[in-house]
């Protein structure tokens, strides 16, 4: 699909690509294009750069597009068998590697590395090998390849064996587990992951903390980094896009609807997340409830606008978590609500325009993850907020490294302290709030997506 047969000079590999397909009722295919940092970055290098994006077919529409030979210029989609992809993506990447790097396991019961895990691990190897072989086939002599994230941790090593001439980079969008947690993995698997990563000339991380954790794991389990270089690239918000998009008509419409839900004149504490276990939505809701307990004066004067968009609902633990978010929100509304005031305005259907509307209305942004590679919401809300907002930020978010000084920092496990932080945010004077917002915006937009990608590419090409 859109093969370039060894001609690509710059290649990106990721599980999800820039386009997806669905089969219409009449049998025709509809393409839906995505955005994000990689799309911006590849656009920034220009149409004549010989760029190719290698990605996986994720659904029936994508697989049908591959079967029919339908595709986008500059994209090669791999039709990896659906069962292999499910084992690799859900079984290993999202149920093991994600849990290790986010330190999410309930260790009395999990993980269990048994025969089923080994079967799924074999699929993860197959999945990574399919990417490595496609990249080896498509890359021109000496081309630059940037592999994305924990789904493809084995690709650099596999690709190095196939094409030693290539400049290979890998970027991690998640945290990296410290050695004492990483060692939970079976010894051979831990070694295989590190060797896979160390096949790269250069590895990129979102923060120094995650880079240092990886380096420490290599020192303990792989005898060091060898010749691999480490870089830190803190992905920033795309201010131009966000400001433009947030003032389009559909966002203005949603602002009016949201304002009606909140109630005229009320303050808004806003959070926008996927219902991802690491996002800590339940404790955020509990902290808001604690705020209403500790400071009854805020009742009927503030609303918590909580957007919790479904994520990974094919995994039972995520479905259970989504249900708990809804239960706690309903409990708060039943306990405190009045005929004219809904304390928690909860939406679970994904709507980007409505998210931007909430950003614009935010007086306070609550970003309290247990552990997060970066968390772009923490960077986006200050950029978009009409009146400036106070950021209540978990010290466990990657964004804390850049934004911590001008946010109100919280321990994500401490509900009482988070409630105090929300009160401090709501009572902050307009002058201090404006000054903090100004500094937050400067830090949040320091490395916009296109520049973030180009910086990695330039560093990779300069690596020796």
Residue 102 located in a structural domain: no
Residues 287 and 221 reside in one and the same domain: no
Cis peptide before 6 (omega within 30 of 0): no
Phi-psi region of 74 (alpha: psi -120 to 50; beta: other; left: phi over 0): left
Beta bridge pairs of residue 408: 392
Q: What is the pLDDT of residues 304-342, one digit of tens each?
A: 999 988 777 777 788 888 999 999 999 999 999 999 999
Q: What is the pLDDT of residues 356-409, one digit of tens each?
A: 999 999 999 999 999 999 999 999 999 999 999 999 999 999 999 999 999 999
Residues 304 and 430 reside in one and the same domain: yes
Structural domain harbouring 190: 8-80+128-235+450-462
Residue 105 located in a structural domain: no
**C-alpha distance from residue 195 to each of 160, 198, 225, 226 (Å):** 11, 5, 9, 10
Residue 39 located in a structural domain: yes
Q: What is the pLDDT of residues 21-30, one digit of tens each?
A: 999 989 889 9
Q: What is the pLDDT of residues 248-298, one digit of tens each?
A: 999 999 999 999 999 989 999 999 998 888 999 999 999 999 999 999 999
Residues 354 and 225 reside in one and the same domain: no
Residues 197 and 269 reside in one and the same domain: no
Residue 99 located in a structural domain: no
Residues 188 and 245 reside in one and the same domain: no
Q: Three-class SS string for 354-366?
A: HHHHHHHHCCEEE
pTM, two decimal places: 0.94
Residues 245 and 205 reside in one and the same domain: no
Q: What is the CATH number of the domain that holds 379?
A: 3.40.50.2000
Tell me, what DSSP letter sits at residue 299?
Answer: T
Residues 409 and 281 reside in one and the same domain: yes
Q: What is the pLDDT of residues 182-208, one digit of tens each?
A: 999 999 999 999 999 999 999 999 999
Residues 40 and 142 reside in one and the same domain: yes
Residues 253 and 372 reside in one and the same domain: yes
Residues 397 and 287 reside in one and the same domain: yes
Has residue 210 got a pLDDT over 80? yes
Beta 344-347 vs 229-232: how paired, if at all?
unpaired
CB 357 within 8 A of CB 383: no
Residue 33 pLDDT class (50, 70, 90 cuts): confident
Residue 107 located in a structural domain: no
* Bigger pLDDT: 349 vs 362: 362
Residue 100 located in a structural domain: no
Residue 104 located in a structural domain: no
Number of structural domains found in the chain: 2
Residues 192 and 252 reside in one and the same domain: no
Residues 143 and 216 reside in one and the same domain: yes
From the number of C-beta atoms within 10 Å of its C-beta (0-12, 13-18, 19+), residue 401 rates as: middle
Residue 114 located in a structural domain: no
Average pLDDT score, the chain: 94
């Amino acid at each position: 699909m859109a093969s370039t047969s060894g001609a690509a000079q710059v290649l990106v590999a990721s599980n999800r690509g820039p386009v997806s397909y669905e089969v219409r009722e009449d049998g025709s295919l509809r393409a839906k294009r995505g955005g994000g940092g990689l799309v911006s970055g590849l656009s920034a290098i220009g149409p004549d750069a010989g760029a190719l994006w290698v990605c996986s077919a994720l659904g029936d529409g994508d697989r049908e597009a591959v079967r029919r030979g339908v595709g986008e210029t500059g994209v090669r989609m791999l039709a990896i068998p659906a069962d292999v992809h499910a084992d690799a993506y859900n079984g290993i990447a999202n149920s093991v590697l994600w849990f290790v790097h986010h330190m999410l396991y309930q260790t009395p019961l999990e993980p269990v590395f048994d025969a089923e895990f080994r079967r799924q691990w074999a699929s993860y190897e197959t999945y990574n090998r399919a990417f490595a072989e496609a990249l080896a086939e498509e890359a021109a002599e000496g081309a630059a390849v940037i592999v994305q994230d924990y789904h493809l941790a084995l690709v650099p090593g596999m690709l190095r064996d196939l094409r030693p001439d290539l400049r290979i980079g890998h970027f991690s969008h998640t945290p990296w587990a410290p050695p004492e947690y990483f060692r939970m993995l079976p010894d051979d698997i831990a070694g295989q992951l590190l060797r896979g990563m160390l096949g790269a000339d250069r590895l990129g991380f979102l923060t120094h903390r995650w880079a240092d954790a990886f380096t420490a794991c290599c020192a303990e389990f792989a005898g060091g980094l060898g010749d691999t270089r480490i870089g830190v690239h803190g992905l920033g918000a795309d201010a131009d896009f966000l400001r433009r998009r947030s003032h389009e008509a559909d966002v203005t419409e949603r602002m009016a609807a949201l304002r009606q839900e909140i109630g005229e004149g009320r303050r808004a504490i806003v959070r926008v997340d996927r219902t991802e276990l690491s996002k800590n939505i339940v404790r955020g809701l509990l902290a808001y409830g604690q705020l209403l307990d500790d400071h009854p004066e805020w009742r009927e004067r503030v609303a918590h606008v909580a957007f919790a968009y479904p994520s990974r609902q094919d995994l039972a633990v995520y479905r259970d978590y989504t249900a708990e978010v809804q239960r706690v929100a309903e409990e708060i509304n039943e306990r405190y609500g009045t005929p004219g005031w809904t304390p928690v305005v909860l939406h679970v259907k994904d709507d980007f325009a409505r998210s931007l509307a909430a950003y614009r209305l935010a007086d306070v942004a609550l970003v309290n993850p247990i552990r997060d590679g970066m968390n772009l919401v923490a960077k986006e809300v200050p950029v978009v907020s009409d009146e400036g907002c106070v950021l209540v930020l978990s010290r466990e978010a990657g964004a804390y490294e850049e934004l911590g000084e001008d946010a109100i920092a919280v321990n994500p496990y401490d509900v009482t302290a988070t409630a105090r932080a929300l009160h401090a945010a709501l009572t902050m004077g307009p002058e201090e709030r404006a000054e903090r917002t100004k500094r937050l915006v400067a830090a949040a937009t320091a490395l916009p997506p296109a520049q973030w990608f180009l910086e990695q590419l330039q560093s990779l090409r300069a690596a020796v």
